[in-house]
Amino acid sequence: MKLVLFDCDGTLVNSAALIHEVMVRTFAEFGHARPTIESTKSIIGLTLDIAIARMLGRPHADDEAVRMTACYKSFFPTVRAEAGYEESLYDGIADLIATLAARDDILIGAVTGKSRRGLELVLNGHGFKPHFIVSRTADDCPSKPHPAMVTECCDETGMQAADTIVIGDAIYDMQMAKAAGARALGVSWGYASVQQLQTAGADVIVDHPADILTHLY
């Protein structure tokens, strides 16, 4: 039996355009310069207040970063409803989840820097909710790369970290997996480069969702 824990943004869904547009509007609201898309992509996966602080070049989430986080959350639903900002699945993800869900030796979960509400919108919107039996979000645990998201999912399902695979596109996913004692599987279609994933400790990197099936051991 294996526990397979998916990151969400950059792994299941392509949400960079949505996240970036909300960041742009949030930074403008507080009088800050427009962030670059590269800056936005570099923080996807972190808990929101820490992500904003890092984009501002600050060592921790200060009062302004906390206020900007609240502003971001207020803008998010409006932007998400606009044309062109849908959180679309990457090609092959739907087939992968269906294949894994049909197996009796696989448990599926999610570990994400999204809020609980954000994750539920994605899982329900794409019909994945029945297949994900465990999840941890930014509302539940410290930010990646802290291992709590993984260890709590293991505890809830009764699985060992050694039998757990974390699948993600960010360096924080790889670092989190290794810190928890789980296997780190990087995906090349997200927001970090292959070299960055390798440096962060990825045990293997795949180029297509179907390739994941050959590495579930």
Domain boundaries, the chain: 2-14+87-215, 16-80
Q: Can you tell me the distance from the alpha carbon of 75 to that of 82, in angstroms, rounded to the nearest whole number? A: 11
Fold of 16-80: DNA polymerase; domain 1 (1.10.150)
Asked: is 2-14+87-215 a CATH 3.40.50.1000 domain? The reply is: yes
Rg (CA), the chain: 16
Place 217 in a pLDDT band, splitting at 50, 70 and 90.
Answer: confident
pLDDT digit string (tens) for 149-185?
999 999 999 999 999 999 999 999 999 999 999 999 9
Query: 3-state DSSP call for residue 155?
Result: helix
Q: What is the pTM of this model?
A: 0.96
pLDDT digit string (tens) for 37-67?
999 999 999 999 999 999 999 999 999 999 9
CB 216 within 8 A of CB 185: no
Q: What mean pLDDT value characterizes the chain?
A: 97
